[in-house]
Amino acid sequence: MQDPAKHLSKTLKAIRKDRGWSLDAAAAATGVSKAMLGQIERGESSPTTATLWKLATGFQVSVTSLMEPLPPGAEKTLIRDAEALRHLPGDSGMAVAPLFPFEPRFGFEYMELTFHPGYKRLSEPHEVGVVEYITVISGEMEIFTDDNWQPLKTGMSIRFRGDAPHGYRNRGDEKAVVMTIIHYPTRR
Q: How confident is the model at residue 92 (pLDDT cuts 50, 70, 90)?
A: confident
Range of the domain at 160: 82-183
Instruction: Quote the number of domains for the chain.
Output: 2
pTM of the model: 0.74
Burial class (CB in 10 A: 0-12, 13-18, 19+), 140: middle
Q: Is residue 163 part of a domain?
A: yes
Task: Please measure the distance between the N-terminal and C-terminal CA atoms of the chain and give it in whole angstroms.
Answer: 26
Could you say which of 67, 91, 114 is where a domain stops?
67
% of residues, the chain, pLDDT over 90 = 43
CATH number for 171: 2.60.120.10
Task: Output 9-12 pairs: Cβ under 8 A, ≥24 positions apart.
Answer: 9/40, 9/41, 9/42, 9/43, 11/65, 11/66, 12/37, 12/40, 12/41, 12/55, 12/59, 12/66
Render pLDDT for 103-142 as a digit per residue (tens, 0 to 9): 888 889 999 999 999 999 998 898 899 999 999 999 999 9
Do both 112 and 46 map to the same domain?
A: no
Gap between the Cα atoms of 180 and 69, Å rounded = 19
Gap between the Cα atoms of 101 and 83, Å rounded = 16
Phi, psi of 64 (to 5 degrees): -70, -30
Question: Residue 4 pLDDT > 70, yes or no?
Answer: no
Do both 89 and 170 map to the same domain?
A: yes
Question: Residue 1 pLDDT > 60, yes or no?
Answer: no
Look at residue 77 in the predicted model and tell me its pLDDT: 80
